[in-house]
Amino acid sequence: MKMLTSERVRLVPLSEVHESEFVRLANIPEINRRVNKPPFYSQAHFSELLSHPQHAKTRLIWMIEQNARVVGAINTAASGRDGRMFQGGYWIDPAFWGQGIASAALLLVKTHLLEERGAERVQALVEPDNGASIRVLEKCGYEREGLLRKFYPSVDRGLIDVFMYASIA
């Protein structure tokens, strides 16, 4: 897995050195509610994430940096029989919302997947009330494909409705 860079952001592959920042971000209430992490995400959860066999095989996770400061994370995982479909998500520290960071990071990852990894489809799920994330996806060329009712398992809300967005090669 390689570092991805643009004029706006740098995406650094997740490693042990990111533990404190990753845990800090995962525990911000505005982020935690959306990313389906257990409340009070811990260092043990982080260690489990890094050591999980799926992490090495199919999952790509980067920390998002702006001006050498960690401001978020973005991830994607390969799926499908041939591993040419990817689904992912992103989270940005609320102190940096509205600055185009998510869009810059998502465009980097989307381009990497489609052009360098031969992806046929890159998709994301988003809650219908998450207007900011919907705008990011649409700005990055994703199209809404439909509403999946009672589809996504939330830690504290049961199965929730989500929109499916995708960008096709």
Q: Tokens 């996806």 label which residue?
A: 137
Among 133, 122, 32, 132, which Cα is nearest to 85's? 122
With respect to residue 154, please indicate whether it lies within any of the assigned structural domains.
Answer: no
Domain range for residue 53? Answer: 4-119
Residue 39: per-residue pLDDT:
63
Q: How far apart are CA 52 and CA 70, in angstroms?
A: 23
Per-residue pLDDT of 71-110, as tens digits, reads 999 999 998 778 899 999 999 999 999 999 999 999 999 9
| pLDDT for residue 156 | 78
Residue 25 belongs to a domain: yes
The answer, as to whether pTM is greater than 0.85, is yes
Strands (E), 7-142: 10-13, 59-66, 69-79, 85-92, 121-126
CATH number for the domain including 90? 3.40.630.30
Q: How many domains does the chain have?
A: 1
Structure tokens that stand for 161 in this block: 């409705």
79: its two tokens: 């799926």
- Calpha distance 107→137 (Å, rounded): 9
Q: Is residue 159 part of a domain?
A: no
